[in-house]
Each structure stands twice: as structure tokens, then as C-alpha cells.
Amino acid sequence: MKIIFNSITLKNFKGVLGEKTINFCDTVTSIYGANHTGKTTVIDAILWVLFDKNSEGASVFGIDTKDENNNVIPKLEHSVKLVLTIDGVERTLEKVRKDVWSKPRGQEEEVLTGHTTNYFINGNKYTQTEYKAEIANILPEALFKSITNPMYFPSLKAADQRLLLEQMVGETDFLNVVAQKEEWALIEKYVENGDIDKFRENTSYKIKNIKEELKLIPSRISEHQTELAELQSKDYDFPILERRIAEIEKGLQHYDDMLADASKGSDEKYKAKMAIRKQIQAYEVERDSIIDKINKENREAEKLHESVVSSIEEAIEKQRKNIHTINSDAENNEHSQQLLNKQKEDFRTRWQQVEDEAFAWDASNEVCPTCHQRLPQEDIDSLRERLQGNFNESKATKQDLLDIEAKSIAKKQNEIEEERKRCATDKQEAEERVAHLEKELEKAKGTQPKKKDYTTDSRVIELANLIKGEEDKLQQLEQEEDNTTQEEAINRIKEQKTQQQQLRDQLRDQLQIKQQIERKEKRIAELTTEQQALSQQLAGLEHQDSTAEKLIQYYIEDLESKVNKLFDIVRFNMFEHHLNGGLKTTCECTMHGTPYQDLSNSEKINAGIDIINAMCRHHNAFAPIIIDNAESITDILPTASQQIRLVVSSQDKELTVVNN
């Protein structure tokens, strides 16, 4: 459907006293005038006769004509007649408002008691309800505003804009868009009823909880490690402690034997046996000291070897994590390349479209829209030259904007290529470091520390022989023993036995630290295992979330691509990216990358016209585009719709109408 305004006649409407007719041509009509000469009145008249409202959307506004003292002139008939063509069929719409005057009882003069409004279509009278129904049947008010006012659509709320755009591209179901993507197969079983937003919400909740747990584990491990280090700082040699306790236990048996000896033998033989036992004990202490020293040196060598191996393993793990990060960077960079490739393809299409544009002369421009006579050749040539100049200027502007966009694309491509090279270099270096470290690890594991065998130590062997000799002497004395008892000897033995028992108990207390260390080490191992399990679980959830985000990104690109194919110069961002990686539905209009609200007035007009052109094509409905403040723009986009331009011109003290 195509609607063309032929003429409009205002009678006593707002500032118009008497009758004023404006004739429109089928293409472009420019109405020039200084401020307050009635340009906005023309818009108000069109909207009033169609929808009972003014350009501000108000249904109650001052249409009464006033005198030079700003007083309403009484008893005037106010009317607007709009002659328009709908798909070639002419129709006349007219609204007439009259004052109702009556003389109250007891008064001589009439007073204004109200108004009546009559509605006419092609001269036939209609009720208000019938008239509105006829207008709605021609073109609903919302659609009329959308395709006649360049500022209307961008002024809508983002949700309303988005709804209209989705209606234009048709319903885009998420599952239908992503069902064939291999990423969908990875998470399909986790997504209930295909609700990807709910899935991401639940996944985000799980990730948050795991991160909170992982945040606490290092402090718990550190706490146990501190306590473990404090226990280990006591530097007890637990094998020695265990052996010393066993030796003391064995020695206590000797004291029991000595008590028995003291009760049987003489003091002289007792002293001899005591001397032998002391000598044996001295030899054993020296022997155990040498053994403990050798064992300690062996353990320290083993600990050093384990430290070297652990250090290399940590270095390898660090490099592998680095490789994982590099792979993620490379994957993100490749995704950026795919997006840029789509942008390039879109750019090449738009560039070719602009290159293919050629000036086309409409022969109907050679005929006067009023008298329908052929214009003088001079006027035709002048109009043709002016329109071709406008076309060339418009094409040059589009080409300049495309050149700017091409430089931006080239810059992005260079950045992506530099990132690709960096990732490749860093990955190669990291993999080489891993290979080198793995060789070092294999070498370290294959080189075991050399341990010393205390059984081959000359002094240990010598002491063993000395102990054997003393034990033989003791055995000989025991065979010669008599039954002499010494109370003093018994008391001395008991005292020495008590001292050894106390020493044993002290050593047992020290040995308890071993169990405490073992408990701490076990708890640290448990926490480390839990940390690893949670980290693996977190990695899995983050991978699922990342996969879901990629699918949503693909859905976004698909939706935005479908939407943006409708337009020539404007683009719409249908989603807003948050710093935390989330997405929020929105609808932001941009032109050449600049948000609508930051555009100049002329750019806003062209953006609005581009939107109108798309909506007209979608609805197959074309109506006159009313361009206010048209003086601010020299290169208005071409339209299939009739254009009515309102131009502020200080030299035009009265409205001047120019039909092109």
C-alpha cells in the first residue's frame, strides 16, 4: 500500500486565520519558513485530521485562532481537509469543529457552552467511531507514526524496539538456531527443556559455590602446613626415638636382672657387673649415635632428591597451564577472526551495493504535479542536474564511510594476526620448555641418591665386637655369682631404673609428635585431593558455561545478522555484554559504530529514514515521511515514500512551499 498526500487545507486552525491550502508533489515537498510561521501547525493539522492528536501526541491542544492580543476569536469554524491517494485512489478526509453557543435563561448574550466535531470522508458524514475505524483500516496509528516520523522508532523503549525488530525478522527460536552446532551436543543433556538461560544461571550458581570453597581451602592447607612446620621444627628423629625406647625397655629388664643379682651376689661382684653393663651401655650409645648419623644423612640425601624432582614437576605443570592459557587465547582469537570474516563479508556486500548504485532519472519528474503539464526543458535539466548532484554526493559520502570502516577492519585483522603469531610463538617456546624439563625429570628420577650402609662402617663393626666381649665377661661373672645381698645396691639399682623409666616416658611424649605430624600430613593430603577434585569440577562447569556462552553468542550473531540485513546504514546491538561475561537483552541503534544518542541531528534523521525504509518494505506500506528540522541535513537518504521536509529559513517570513 502506498499513501501520497496531494494537498491539505487549513481553515482557522491554530495560527491560520481564514483558509490556507498547501499542495504536495509525489516526491519531495519542502516547506520553508522562519520560526513561528506555522511549519509545526502543518504537522499538527495532518495528525489531527487523522488521529485527533497533535505532533506531541496530545489529544487536547489549542486549535483556536487568536487575535493580535492573544484572545480566542469566537464563533469561527475550525477545519482541516486532507486530500490523499491510496494505491492510486483519491480520498478526502475532513474534520470540522464548531463552537456551540447558547443563551442562558435570564441573559441577553450568548455564551460558549461546548464544541461539536463533524467527520467527513469524500464528503460523506461519519460518526467519530466510524471515522476512526476507517482510518485504522487504512493504516493503524502506531504503524503510521513508525513509517512517517524518523524520530519515532528510536524514541521507543529498547524492549518495544526489540519486539518490532523480532517481528520483522520472524521468530528466531534458540534451539532451531543452535541445534546443528557441535557445541550443543556437548551440553544438551544438561540443559532442561532447552532453557539455556536457566542452565547458565544454575551453572553460575555452582561455579560461585565451588570458587568460594576453593578460596577457603588454601588458607586451611596453609594453617595445617604452619602447624606441621612447627612440629617438624622440633627435628626429632623418630626412628632413633623408637629404637631408644626399645633399648630402654630392654635396659629396664637388665635392671630387673640386676635387682635379682643384688639380692643374690656380693657387693664386689655387683660392682664388677655394674661396670661391665655401663661399658656395654657406653658402647651401645656410641654405636647408635653413628647409626643415627648415617641414617640421617641418608634421609637428607633422599629428601634433597625428592625436592629436586618435585621442583621439576611443578615447573612442568606451570608450563602446561601456560600452554592451556595460550590455547584459550588462540581459541578466542580464532573466534574473533570468524566474527571479523562475517564483518568482511557484510562489508564487501555493502561496498558492492554502493559501487553498483547508478543515478536513475524518473520521467515523472518532468511533469508538474499540479497542472500535469510537461515542465520547461530548462527546468528539467536544472532538476536533473541537482538530483544527480545529490545522488553523487550521497554516494561519495557512503564511499567515504566505507573507507573508514575498511581501515578499521584492516586494523582489527592486523591485531588478530599479531595475536595469532604471539600465541604460536609462546606455545612453541612453552612446549620446548616442557620437553626439556621432562628430560630433566627423567634424568633426576633415574639418578637415585647413594645411601651409606651402616653395617659396613668400621667403627660400628668394632663396637659390636667390643659389646660382644663385655657381654661374654658379664656372662662369666653371672656364672660365678653367690647369694650375697646388698640393700644399698638394691636401692641404687631401683633409683637408676626409675631414671630410665622417666627418660622412656619423655621419649614417648616426643614420639607422640610423629602421630600429630602424620595426622597433619593426612589432612593436608585430603584437602589437596579435595582442591584438585573441586578444580576439575570447576573446570568442567566453566567449560560448559563457556560452551553455552558460545552458543548464545552464535544465536546473538544470527539474530543481529538477520536484523541488520534489513538496513543500509544503521545497525542494532540486540545484546549487551557485561564485564562478568553475562549477556543482557537490549536494543541499541548505532550508525557506523556510533550510538544513536551520540549522533548529530542530521545523522539521526538519516538513521530514522533508514529504519522507516526497512519497515515500509517489511509491511509493504508507504506513507509520507515528515522530516522536521530538514535544514540540518544536506544529504537525505533516498526513499520510496513521499517526503515532506520542514525547513527553518529566516528569510521566509511566511510559509513557502517548493515541490521538487
Supply the CATH number for residue 26's domain. 3.40.50.300
pLDDT higher for 266 or 301? Answer: 301
* Residue 480 clears pLDDT 70, i.e. is over it: no
Segment 148-194, tens digit of pLDDT: 999 999 999 998 998 899 889 876 777 777 777 777 877 878 887 77
CA 213-215-221 angle, 5° bins: 90
Q: How far apart are CA 371 and CA 367, in angstroms?
A: 8
At 365, the amino acid letter reads: N
What H or E segment, with its residue span, contains residue 437? helix 377-446
pLDDT higher for 4 or 582? Answer: 4
Q: How many residues does the chain have?
A: 660
Assess contact for 626 and 148: CB atoms under 8 A.
yes
pLDDT at 101: 85
Position 430 confidence tier, pLDDT thresholds 50, 70, 90: very high
* Residue 628 clears pLDDT 80, i.e. is over it: yes
**Pairing relationship of beta strands 111-121 and 594-595 according to DSSP bridges:** unpaired
- Cβ contacts of residue 415 below 8 Å, gap of 6+? none
Query: For 31, which DSSP code?
Result: E
Q: Which of 64-78, 249-263, 520-534 is the least confident region?
A: 249-263
Q: How far apart are CA 218 and CA 202, in angstroms?
A: 26
Report the phi/psi class of residue 5: left, alpha or beta, with left for phi > 0 and alpha for psi in -120 to 50.
beta
Considering the chain, what percentage of its residues have pLDDT values greater than 70?
94
Average pLDDT over the chain, rounded to an integer:
86
Position 567 confidence tier, pLDDT thresholds 50, 70, 90: very high
Query: For 569, which DSSP code?
Result: S
Q: With CA atoms as reference, report the closest residue to 554 among 186, 190, 181, 168.
A: 181
State how far Cα 197 lies from the chain centre. 13
pLDDT higher for 257 or 115? Answer: 115
Residue 43 lies in a domain: yes
Residue 14 lies in a domain: yes
Give the full edge-to-edge strand order of the sheet including 3-11.
19-23, 3-11, 78-86, 89-102, 111-121, 124-126
- Cβ contacts of residue 619 below 8 Å, gap of 6+? 143, 147
Q: How far apart are CA 549 and CA 199, in angstroms?
A: 11
Query: For 255, which DSSP code?
Result: H
Q: Match 610463538 to its residue by C-alpha cell.
A: 425
Q: With CA atoms as reference, report the closest residue to 558 among 582, 540, 574, 538.
A: 574
Q: Match 609462546 to its residue by C-alpha cell.
A: 426
The residue segments making up the domain with residue 642 are 3-139+621-659
pLDDT at 485: 46
Segment 493-551, tens digit of pLDDT: 788 778 888 888 887 877 787 888 888 889 999 999 999 999 999 998 988 888 888 88
Q: Which of 26-30, 46-50, 484-488 is the least confident region?
A: 484-488
Q: How far apart are CA 390 and CA 394, in angstroms?
A: 6
Locate 271 and state its grid cell.
Answer: 660392682
Q: How far apart are CA 621 and CA 147, in angstroms?
A: 8
Q: With CA atoms as reference, report the closest residue to 617 among 566, 562, 560, 563.
A: 566
Q: How far apart are CA 84 and CA 625, in angstroms?
A: 14
pLDDT at 482: 46
| Helices 267-356 & 487-564 angle (0-180, nearest 10) | 0
Residue 522 lies in a domain: no
Q: With CA atoms as reference, report the closest residue to 625 among 227, 303, 175, 153.
A: 153
| Helices 487-564 & 196-232 angle (0-180, nearest 10) | 160
- Cβ contacts of residue 311 below 8 Å, gap of 6+? none
Q: How far apart are CA 273 and CA 258, in angstroms?
A: 9
* Residue 141 clears pLDDT 60, i.e. is over it: yes
pLDDT at 280: 86
Assess contact for 553 and 547: CB atoms under 8 A.
no
Q: Which of 121-125, 233-237, 656-660 is the least confident region?
A: 233-237
Q: Which of 67-71, 338-342, 580-584 is the least confident region?
A: 580-584
Locate 34 and state its grid cell.
Answer: 522562519
3-state secondary structure of 167: helix
Locate 336 and state its grid cell.
Answer: 574473533
pLDDT higher for 15 or 591? Answer: 591
Q: With CA atoms as reference, report the closest residue to 258 among 232, 277, 242.
A: 277
pLDDT at 560: 87
DSSP labels, 305-362: HHHHHHHHHHHHHHHHHHHHHHHHHHHHHHHHHHHHHHHHHHHHHHHHHHHH------
pLDDT higher for 232 or 281? Answer: 281
Residue 134 lies in a domain: yes
3-state secondary structure of 242: helix
Rg (CA), the chain: 50
* Residue 360 clears pLDDT 80, i.e. is over it: yes
Q: Please report, for residues 379, 453, 504, the alpha-carbon distance to residue 660 in angstroms, rounded to integers and kept in the order given.
A: 11, 112, 117
Considering the chain, what percentage of its residues have pLDDT values greater than 90?
37
Residue 210 lies in a domain: no
Residue 438 lies in a domain: no
Arithmetic mean of pLDDT, 319-333 = 89
Residue 12 lies in a domain: yes
pTM > 0.75: no
* Residue 445 clears pLDDT 90, i.e. is over it: no
pLDDT at 484: 44
- What are the φ/ψ torsions at residue 585 (nearest 5 degrees)? -65, 135
3-state secondary structure of 599: coil
Residue 144 lies in a domain: no
Segment 212-236, tens digit of pLDDT: 999 999 999 999 888 888 877 776 6
Domain total of the chain: 1
Q: How far apart are CA 495 and CA 501, in angstroms?
A: 10
Q: How far apart are CA 603 and CA 585, in angstroms?
A: 25
Highest-confidence segment of 334-338, 360-364, 604-608: 604-608
pLDDT higher for 149 or 476? Answer: 149
pLDDT at 544: 86
- Cβ contacts of residue 335 below 8 Å, gap of 6+? 550, 553
Locate 383 and state its grid cell.
Answer: 532538476
Arithmetic mean of pLDDT, 618-636 = 92
Arithmetic mean of pLDDT, 122-139 = 94
* Residue 598 clears pLDDT 90, i.e. is over it: yes
